[in-house]
Structure 1
Amino acid sequence: MKTILVTGGSDGIGKGVAMHLLRSGNQVIVVGSSATKGRSFLNEAKQIGAGERATFLQANLSLVSENKRVIEEVQTRFASLDSVIFCATSHTTREQLTETEEGFEFNFALSYLSRFVLSFGLKEMLEKAAKPVIVNVCAPGMNGTVNLEDIQNKRNYNGAKIKYHGSRLNDLLGVAFSDLNYGKIKYVLFNPWAVQTKGYLDSIKNPINKALARVAFKLIGKPVEKAVLPIIDHIEAPPAQKLSAYIQRKEVSLSKNTFNLDNAHQLYQKTLHLMKGEK
């Protein structure tokens, strides 16, 4: 039995991963912001006879302090972790710059900074496992760059583009973690492509765009149950290399500029400075 933590595991693809793992006999820790969805997850776990192996931790992962609290609670309650799966994100497009109470741009905080804090903060627990792996669900290898002078995109904020920027940040996070990590943890950047999740459809307010999205889902979208299978494979048999990236089951070349090592180390240092309140 493996012990696996899933952020965003009470909804969408994260919940699909969590339920699949529970059915396979594993111990699963789900982190999510909604107490209602957390209770629903625990009830479903009980219904399949996995109630004792399911844990829900309520947390606002857009806050660094909450991520640190999750790390402390996991360290207190569990001996080790075999895998960490990052699925927590927001599908809502914010037209205006929105900051958390800690002063970070919201999408930057939730989609990147949370994953940064948890990746490095849970490293020691992962090192205790035989074959530890982190799976970061984002969109690796797509075109785009990170503005290292404005990594939160506060100066030229664009709500429609900010989520894609988060994936470029996570590309560099994977590179930095793998380069700085001399242990046995494998880091996988994974793009599930089009997945039929209710959360994404609910985030679309324009009726015409929502209708188009429904058609696209029917044509190219995968149901959650199928979309999670490559993630499960990475958990059961982590790749040999320290860092890898995939779009579904197709490997993405790490020679792309989005995985630039120098940029990754610059972003790592700038992230540390931000967390210390430095400019």
Structure 2
Amino acid sequence: MKTILITGGTDGMGKALAITQLKNGHRVIIVGRSKDKGSQFINEAKQLNASNRAVFLEADLSLISENKRIIEFMKQEMKSLDTLILTAADQSYRPNKRETKEGFEFTFALYYLSRHVLSYGLKSLMEKSNGPIIINISAPGLKGEVKWDDIQMSQNFDSTKAQRHGSRLNDLLAVSFDNKNEAKHIKYILFNPWAVRTTGADASAKNKIQQRINAFIYKLIGKTPEEAILPVIDLLDAPPKETLSAYVQKKGVDLSMPTFDKNKAARLLNETNKLIQK
């Protein structure tokens, strides 16, 4: 039995992965903001006779303090961690910048900072596992430049651009983590599911007309969360040999792309640590 931690595990792909892994006999801890959705997960676990293997942790992962609380819980309650699946995100369109209580732009904090803090904070616990894997569900394989003079995308805010920028930061997070993965024991996988039919996908549109267009497009080409997780399940069952890899669905991504530059990854790590320590 493996121990699996899933952020954003109350919705979409995170929820589908959580239920699937419970059915496969593993211990699953999910993290989410909604008590109601967390209770639904626990009830579904009971129906599967898996309530003793299901845990819901309520947390706002846009806050560094909450991420650290989850890390401390895991270290106190679990002897090791086999799999960390990072899916927490908020795709909702926002016309204006939203700042967390800790002073960070919300999308930057939830989509990037949380994944940074959890990846590094749980590293020692994962090193105690026989075959640890981190899966960061974002959007590797796409072009884009990091805005070093506005890394949080706070100026001239656009929530869609902020989300895309967050994926570029996650690309560099994976590279820097692999560089710090001295024992080369943990495998870090970036995964782009492409189009997935979720409520978040509809909410990302600026207006009702665009929402309808998105709904039509996703109905044509989008996958259900249950379909979208199938390549992730394959990666968990048969992980790649490399300690760092990236995929768009089942297709591997060329890590020689500029978005995976090691020097930029080191720079981002340095700047992120400065932000966290302020």
Same fold by TM-score, threshold 0.5 exceeded? yes
Secondary structure of the residue aligned to 2:88 is: coil
Instruction: Identify the residue that residue 172 of structure 2 maps to in structure 1.
Output: 172
Q: Does 1:249 align with 2:250?
A: yes
RMSD of the TM alignment (CA)? Answer: 1.1
- Bigger drift between 9-18 and 140-149 goes to 140-149
Q: Does 1:100 align with 2:134?
A: no
Q: 1:203 to 1:44 in 2, by over 3 A?
A: farther
Identify unmatched segments of 5+ residues in structure 2: none
Q: Does 1:50 align with 2:50?
A: yes
Q: Please give the per-residue CA displacement for 1:148-176, whole angstroms capped at 9, x wherever unaligned.
A: 23211223422231100000000000000
Q: Report if the CA contact (8 A) 1:131-1:238 is conserved.
A: no
Cα shift at 1:205: 6.1
Aligned length: 277
Letter in 2 for 1:24: N
For residues 119 and 8 of structure 1, the distance between their equivalents in structure 2, rounded to whole angstroms, comes to: 15
Secondary structure of the residue aligned to 1:149 is: helix
For residues 96 and 156 of structure 2, the distance between their equivalents in structure 1, rounded to whole angstroms, comes to: 11
Cα shift at 1:202: 4.3
Cα shift at 1:220: 0.7
Secondary structure of the residue aligned to 1:272 is: helix
Instruction: Identify the residue that residue 210 of structure 1 maps to in structure 2.
Output: 211
Cα shift at 1:209: 1.6
For residues 130 and 22 of structure 2, the distance between their equivalents in structure 1, rounded to whole angstroms, comes to: 20
For residues 237 and 82 of structure 1, the distance between their equivalents in structure 2, rounded to whole angstroms, comes to: 14
Letter in 1 for 2:63: L
Letter in 2 for 1:195: V
TM-score normalised according to structure 1 size: 0.96
For residues 80 and 27 of structure 2, the distance between their equivalents in structure 1, rounded to whole angstroms, comes to: 11
TM-score normalised according to structure 2 size: 0.97
Map residues 23-34 of structure 1 onto 2, 5 A cutoff.
Answer: 23-34=23-34
For residues 110 and 234 of structure 2, the distance between their equivalents in structure 1, rounded to whole angstroms, comes to: 26
Cα shift at 1:218: 1.9
Cα shift at 1:268: 0.1
Q: Report if the CA contact (8 A) 1:174-1:243 is conserved.
A: yes
Letter in 1 for 2:110: L
For residues 96 and 222 of structure 1, the distance between their equivalents in structure 2, rounded to whole angstroms, comes to: 30
Map residues 78-227 of structure 1 onto 2, 5 A cutoff.
Answer: 78-183=78-183, 184-204=185-205, 206-227=207-228
Q: Report if the CA contact (8 A) 2:107-2:159 is conserved.
A: no
Cα shift at 1:199: 3.2
For residues 237 and 131 of structure 2, the distance between their equivalents in structure 1, rounded to whole angstroms, comes to: 9
For residues 156 and 263 of structure 1, the distance between their equivalents in structure 2, rounded to whole angstroms, comes to: 23
Q: Report if the CA contact (8 A) 1:148-1:266 is conserved.
A: no
Instruction: Identify the residue that residue 267 of structure 2 maps to in structure 1.
Output: 266
4+ runs deviating over 3 angstroms: 202-205
For residues 78 and 30 of structure 1, the distance between their equivalents in structure 2, rounded to whole angstroms, comes to: 14
For residues 59 and 206 of structure 1, the distance between their equivalents in structure 2, rounded to whole angstroms, comes to: 29
For residues 155 and 240 of structure 1, the distance between their equivalents in structure 2, rounded to whole angstroms, comes to: 41
Cα shift at 1:198: 2.6
For residues 234 and 223 of structure 2, the distance between their equivalents in structure 1, rounded to whole angstroms, comes to: 17
Q: Identity, % of aligned pairs?
A: 51
Letter in 2 for 1:254: L
Secondary structure of the residue aligned to 2:160 is: coil
Q: Report if the CA contact (8 A) 2:176-2:269 is conserved.
A: yes
Secondary structure of the residue aligned to 2:56 is: strand
Q: 1:69 to 1:16 in 2, by over 3 A?
A: same
For residues 169 and 13 of structure 2, the distance between their equivalents in structure 1, rounded to whole angstroms, comes to: 21
Letter in 1 for 2:233: I
